[in-house]
Amino acid sequence: MATLGIPQNTIAVLQKYNFTFQKKYGQNFLIDPHVLEKIVAAAEITPEDLVLEIGPGIGTMTQYLCEHAREVVAVEIDRNLIPILEDTLSAYDNVTILREDILKVDLTQIAKERNGGRPVKVVANLPYYITTPIIMELLESHVPVESITVMVQKEVADRMQAGPGTKDYGALSLAVQYHARPEVVAKVPPNCFLPRPTVGSAVIRLTRHVQPPVRVEDEAFLFDLIRASFNQRRKTLANGLNNSPKILLSREEIQAGIEELGLPVTVRGEALTLEQFAQLSDCFFHMMKKRGR
Protein backbone atom coordinates (compact mmCIF):
# COMPACT_ATOMS: atom_id res chain seq x y z
CA MET A 1 0.00 0.00 0.00
CA ALA A 2 1.14 3.55 -0.78
CA THR A 3 2.01 5.01 2.62
CA LEU A 4 4.85 7.48 2.13
CA GLY A 5 2.60 10.44 1.29
CA ILE A 6 1.92 10.72 5.02
CA PRO A 7 4.60 13.07 6.42
CA GLN A 8 5.41 10.91 9.50
CA ASN A 9 6.16 7.92 7.27
CA THR A 10 8.48 9.94 5.03
CA ILE A 11 10.28 11.32 8.09
CA ALA A 12 10.66 7.80 9.52
CA VAL A 13 12.30 6.58 6.28
CA LEU A 14 14.63 9.59 6.13
CA GLN A 15 15.68 8.99 9.74
CA LYS A 16 16.12 5.26 9.30
CA TYR A 17 18.62 5.87 6.49
CA ASN A 18 20.08 9.08 7.94
CA PHE A 19 19.34 10.70 4.56
CA THR A 20 20.64 14.20 3.80
CA PHE A 21 18.90 16.22 1.09
CA GLN A 22 21.06 17.28 -1.84
CA LYS A 23 20.10 20.75 -2.99
CA LYS A 24 21.99 20.31 -6.26
CA TYR A 25 19.55 17.55 -7.25
CA GLY A 26 16.43 19.65 -6.58
CA GLN A 27 15.22 17.31 -3.84
CA ASN A 28 11.82 18.38 -2.47
CA PHE A 29 9.83 15.30 -1.61
CA LEU A 30 6.03 15.27 -1.74
CA ILE A 31 4.27 14.80 1.59
CA ASP A 32 0.60 15.28 0.67
CA PRO A 33 -1.56 12.28 -0.30
CA HIS A 34 -4.20 14.53 -1.97
CA VAL A 35 -1.62 15.99 -4.34
CA LEU A 36 -0.24 12.53 -5.10
CA GLU A 37 -3.73 11.22 -5.89
CA LYS A 38 -4.40 14.24 -8.11
CA ILE A 39 -1.21 13.67 -10.12
CA VAL A 40 -1.96 9.98 -10.63
CA ALA A 41 -5.59 10.76 -11.64
CA ALA A 42 -4.49 13.48 -14.10
CA ALA A 43 -2.02 11.08 -15.71
CA GLU A 44 -4.95 8.66 -16.42
CA ILE A 45 -2.82 5.60 -15.81
CA THR A 46 -4.34 2.26 -16.75
CA PRO A 47 -3.21 -1.32 -16.02
CA GLU A 48 -1.88 -1.49 -19.62
CA ASP A 49 0.54 1.41 -19.20
CA LEU A 50 4.31 1.61 -18.94
CA VAL A 51 5.05 4.66 -16.80
CA LEU A 52 8.40 6.41 -16.73
CA GLU A 53 9.04 8.26 -13.47
CA ILE A 54 11.83 10.82 -13.38
CA GLY A 55 13.43 11.21 -9.95
CA PRO A 56 11.49 8.85 -7.64
CA GLY A 57 13.19 10.21 -4.47
CA ILE A 58 12.30 7.78 -1.67
CA GLY A 59 9.55 6.23 -3.83
CA THR A 60 6.53 8.17 -2.57
CA MET A 61 4.82 8.64 -5.94
CA THR A 62 6.36 5.43 -7.29
CA GLN A 63 4.21 3.44 -4.86
CA TYR A 64 1.04 5.04 -6.30
CA LEU A 65 2.27 4.48 -9.86
CA CYS A 66 3.02 0.80 -9.18
CA GLU A 67 -0.53 0.33 -7.96
CA HIS A 68 -2.07 1.74 -11.15
CA ALA A 69 0.30 0.85 -14.00
CA ARG A 70 1.38 -2.42 -15.61
CA GLU A 71 5.01 -1.47 -15.18
CA VAL A 72 7.04 1.45 -13.83
CA VAL A 73 10.58 2.45 -14.76
CA ALA A 74 11.98 4.97 -12.26
CA VAL A 75 15.20 6.84 -13.08
CA GLU A 76 17.05 8.32 -10.09
CA ILE A 77 20.44 10.07 -10.20
CA ASP A 78 21.23 10.06 -6.45
CA ARG A 79 22.95 6.80 -5.53
CA ASN A 80 22.12 7.33 -1.83
CA LEU A 81 18.45 6.87 -2.67
CA ILE A 82 18.83 3.47 -4.34
CA PRO A 83 18.94 1.32 -1.13
CA ILE A 84 16.00 3.34 0.21
CA LEU A 85 13.97 2.71 -2.97
CA GLU A 86 14.80 -1.00 -2.83
CA ASP A 87 13.29 -1.01 0.66
CA THR A 88 10.21 1.21 0.13
CA LEU A 89 9.29 -0.51 -3.15
CA SER A 90 10.03 -4.09 -2.04
CA ALA A 91 6.31 -4.98 -2.08
CA TYR A 92 6.03 -4.27 -5.82
CA ASP A 93 7.25 -6.59 -8.57
CA ASN A 94 6.38 -4.24 -11.46
CA VAL A 95 9.05 -1.60 -10.88
CA THR A 96 12.61 -1.20 -12.20
CA ILE A 97 14.91 1.39 -10.66
CA LEU A 98 17.68 2.78 -12.84
CA ARG A 99 20.54 4.72 -11.23
CA GLU A 100 21.06 7.20 -14.07
CA ASP A 101 20.90 10.81 -15.15
CA ILE A 102 17.57 11.13 -17.00
CA LEU A 103 19.21 13.28 -19.68
CA LYS A 104 21.56 10.39 -20.54
CA VAL A 105 19.07 7.51 -20.62
CA ASP A 106 18.03 6.01 -23.97
CA LEU A 107 14.27 6.30 -23.47
CA THR A 108 13.45 5.08 -26.98
CA GLN A 109 15.23 1.83 -26.14
CA ILE A 110 13.22 1.48 -22.91
CA ALA A 111 9.93 2.01 -24.79
CA LYS A 112 11.06 -0.50 -27.41
CA GLU A 113 12.18 -3.20 -24.98
CA ARG A 114 9.44 -2.86 -22.38
CA ASN A 115 6.47 -1.46 -24.27
CA GLY A 116 6.81 -2.89 -27.78
CA GLY A 117 7.67 0.64 -29.00
CA ARG A 118 4.26 1.97 -27.92
CA PRO A 119 4.09 5.42 -26.29
CA VAL A 120 4.82 5.63 -22.58
CA LYS A 121 3.32 7.98 -19.98
CA VAL A 122 5.77 10.16 -18.09
CA VAL A 123 4.93 11.17 -14.54
CA ALA A 124 7.21 13.11 -12.19
CA ASN A 125 7.73 15.64 -9.49
CA LEU A 126 10.57 17.14 -11.51
CA PRO A 127 13.87 18.46 -10.19
CA TYR A 128 13.31 22.16 -11.00
CA TYR A 129 16.90 22.91 -12.02
CA ILE A 130 16.50 20.89 -15.23
CA THR A 131 12.76 21.14 -15.95
CA THR A 132 13.09 22.74 -19.39
CA PRO A 133 15.84 20.43 -20.76
CA ILE A 134 13.87 17.38 -19.61
CA ILE A 135 10.57 18.54 -21.15
CA MET A 136 12.22 19.64 -24.41
CA GLU A 137 14.14 16.38 -24.69
CA LEU A 138 10.91 14.41 -24.21
CA LEU A 139 9.04 16.52 -26.77
CA GLU A 140 11.70 17.08 -29.42
CA SER A 141 13.46 13.74 -29.51
CA HIS A 142 11.63 10.88 -31.10
CA VAL A 143 10.91 9.10 -27.83
CA PRO A 144 7.38 7.67 -28.02
CA VAL A 145 5.53 9.59 -25.31
CA GLU A 146 1.75 9.87 -24.98
CA SER A 147 1.56 12.32 -22.12
CA ILE A 148 3.76 14.07 -19.57
CA THR A 149 2.18 14.83 -16.20
CA VAL A 150 4.65 16.70 -14.04
CA MET A 151 5.10 18.98 -11.05
CA VAL A 152 7.01 22.08 -12.10
CA GLN A 153 7.67 25.56 -10.75
CA LYS A 154 4.42 27.54 -11.11
CA GLU A 155 6.04 30.22 -13.31
CA VAL A 156 7.24 27.53 -15.71
CA ALA A 157 3.72 26.04 -15.94
CA ASP A 158 2.36 29.55 -16.68
CA ARG A 159 4.92 29.99 -19.46
CA MET A 160 4.10 26.64 -21.02
CA GLN A 161 0.42 27.43 -21.43
CA ALA A 162 0.65 31.20 -22.12
CA GLY A 163 -0.87 32.65 -25.30
CA PRO A 164 0.19 35.60 -27.53
CA GLY A 165 0.26 39.08 -26.04
CA THR A 166 0.87 37.96 -22.44
CA LYS A 167 4.04 38.52 -20.40
CA ASP A 168 4.62 34.78 -19.96
CA TYR A 169 4.43 34.02 -23.69
CA GLY A 170 7.75 33.06 -25.26
CA ALA A 171 9.86 30.41 -26.95
CA LEU A 172 8.94 27.78 -24.30
CA SER A 173 5.17 28.37 -24.80
CA LEU A 174 5.51 27.92 -28.56
CA ALA A 175 7.80 24.89 -28.36
CA VAL A 176 5.48 23.13 -25.89
CA GLN A 177 2.30 24.04 -27.80
CA TYR A 178 3.79 22.89 -31.11
CA HIS A 179 4.25 19.41 -29.67
CA ALA A 180 1.50 19.10 -27.05
CA ARG A 181 -1.67 20.45 -25.45
CA PRO A 182 -0.80 21.88 -22.00
CA GLU A 183 -3.26 21.92 -19.13
CA VAL A 184 -2.53 22.98 -15.54
CA VAL A 185 -4.32 20.49 -13.30
CA ALA A 186 -3.36 21.75 -9.82
CA LYS A 187 -1.53 24.51 -8.03
CA VAL A 188 0.58 23.20 -5.16
CA PRO A 189 1.85 25.31 -2.23
CA PRO A 190 5.35 24.86 -0.68
CA ASN A 191 3.97 23.15 2.47
CA CYS A 192 3.20 20.00 0.44
CA PHE A 193 6.95 19.27 0.17
CA LEU A 194 9.82 18.34 2.46
CA PRO A 195 11.92 20.48 2.53
CA ARG A 196 9.69 23.36 1.41
CA PRO A 197 10.75 24.94 -1.89
CA THR A 198 11.03 28.74 -2.03
CA VAL A 199 8.70 28.89 -5.04
CA GLY A 200 5.11 27.88 -5.78
CA SER A 201 4.49 24.75 -7.85
CA ALA A 202 1.91 23.45 -10.29
CA VAL A 203 1.05 20.13 -11.87
CA ILE A 204 0.83 20.36 -15.64
CA ARG A 205 -0.28 17.71 -18.09
CA LEU A 206 1.08 17.84 -21.63
CA THR A 207 -0.85 15.64 -24.05
CA ARG A 208 1.22 15.04 -27.15
CA HIS A 209 -0.35 16.01 -30.49
CA VAL A 210 -0.64 13.21 -33.03
CA GLN A 211 0.30 15.83 -35.66
CA PRO A 212 1.70 19.31 -34.87
CA PRO A 213 -1.03 22.00 -35.26
CA VAL A 214 1.00 23.71 -38.01
CA ARG A 215 3.10 22.35 -40.86
CA VAL A 216 6.34 23.98 -41.97
CA GLU A 217 9.04 23.31 -44.57
CA ASP A 218 11.79 23.19 -41.94
CA GLU A 219 10.97 22.56 -38.28
CA ALA A 220 14.49 23.43 -37.04
CA PHE A 221 14.32 26.79 -38.84
CA LEU A 222 10.89 27.53 -37.28
CA PHE A 223 12.46 27.16 -33.84
CA ASP A 224 15.55 29.19 -34.79
CA LEU A 225 13.15 31.94 -35.86
CA ILE A 226 11.09 31.67 -32.66
CA ARG A 227 14.17 31.81 -30.42
CA ALA A 228 15.54 34.80 -32.36
CA SER A 229 12.16 36.56 -32.04
CA PHE A 230 12.23 36.39 -28.23
CA ASN A 231 15.97 36.90 -27.68
CA GLN A 232 15.57 40.65 -27.44
CA ARG A 233 12.06 41.07 -26.10
CA ARG A 234 12.13 44.86 -26.06
CA LYS A 235 13.05 45.14 -29.73
CA THR A 236 10.62 44.94 -32.63
CA LEU A 237 10.46 41.57 -34.36
CA ALA A 238 12.27 42.97 -37.41
CA ASN A 239 15.17 44.32 -35.33
CA GLY A 240 15.46 41.13 -33.27
CA LEU A 241 15.57 38.97 -36.40
CA ASN A 242 18.01 41.29 -38.14
CA ASN A 243 20.52 40.59 -35.34
CA SER A 244 20.18 36.82 -35.61
CA PRO A 245 22.96 34.82 -37.34
CA LYS A 246 20.34 32.21 -38.32
CA ILE A 247 18.20 34.55 -40.47
CA LEU A 248 20.30 35.15 -43.58
CA LEU A 249 18.22 38.07 -44.88
CA SER A 250 18.66 41.85 -44.98
CA ARG A 251 16.59 44.19 -42.82
CA GLU A 252 14.52 45.14 -45.89
CA GLU A 253 13.85 41.51 -46.77
CA ILE A 254 12.81 40.75 -43.17
CA GLN A 255 10.45 43.73 -43.15
CA ALA A 256 9.00 42.66 -46.51
CA GLY A 257 8.33 39.17 -45.14
CA ILE A 258 6.58 40.58 -42.07
CA GLU A 259 4.41 42.86 -44.23
CA GLU A 260 3.59 39.98 -46.57
CA LEU A 261 1.85 38.35 -43.60
CA GLY A 262 -0.30 41.48 -43.17
CA LEU A 263 1.54 42.51 -39.99
CA PRO A 264 2.91 46.00 -39.24
CA VAL A 265 6.74 46.24 -39.47
CA THR A 266 6.77 47.50 -35.88
CA VAL A 267 5.16 44.29 -34.55
CA ARG A 268 6.82 42.52 -31.60
CA GLY A 269 7.46 38.78 -31.44
CA GLU A 270 5.09 38.26 -28.51
CA ALA A 271 2.10 39.32 -30.68
CA LEU A 272 2.46 36.44 -33.15
CA THR A 273 0.54 33.18 -32.91
CA LEU A 274 2.13 29.82 -33.68
CA GLU A 275 0.36 29.87 -37.08
CA GLN A 276 1.89 33.27 -37.88
CA PHE A 277 5.37 32.08 -36.87
CA ALA A 278 4.86 29.08 -39.15
CA GLN A 279 3.87 31.34 -42.07
CA LEU A 280 6.83 33.64 -41.45
CA SER A 281 9.16 30.66 -41.19
CA ASP A 282 8.06 29.33 -44.60
CA CYS A 283 8.20 32.82 -46.12
CA PHE A 284 11.81 33.38 -44.94
CA PHE A 285 12.76 29.81 -45.82
CA HIS A 286 11.68 30.34 -49.45
CA MET A 287 13.30 33.80 -49.63
CA MET A 288 16.62 32.36 -48.40
CA LYS A 289 16.38 29.40 -50.78
CA LYS A 290 15.69 31.69 -53.74
CA ARG A 291 18.78 33.70 -52.87
CA GLY A 292 20.88 30.53 -52.46
CA ARG A 293 21.54 31.14 -48.74
Binding site for ligand SAM (CB under 6 A): 25-30, 54-57, 60-61, 75-78, 81, 101-103, 125, 127, 130
Count how many Cα atoms sit within 13 Å of the Cα of residue 233 in the half-sphere of its side chain.
8
Closest distance of CB 290 from ligand SAM, Å: 44
Q: What are phi and psi of 74, to 5 degrees?
A: -115, 125
- Closest CB to ligand SAM among 36 and 176? 36
- Closest CB to ligand SAM among 56 and 269? 56
* Burial degree of 198 (CB within 10 A; 0-12, 13-18, 19+): exposed
- Closest CB to ligand SAM among 14 and 263? 14
Give the C-alpha separation, 235 to 251, whole Å. Answer: 14
Closest distance of CB 57 from ligand SAM, Å: 3
- Return the amino acid letter for 99: R
Closest distance of CB 170 from ligand SAM, Å: 24
3-state helix, strand, coil in the chain (%, to 5): 45, 20, 35
Neighbours of 3 (CB within 10 A): 14
- Closest CB to ligand SAM among 63 and 229? 63
Closest distance of CB 150 from ligand SAM, Å: 10
- Closest CB to ligand SAM among 130 and 237? 130
Give the C-alpha separation, 66 to 45, whole Å. Answer: 10
Residue nearest to ligand SAM (CB): 55
Closest distance of CB 2 from ligand SAM, Å: 12
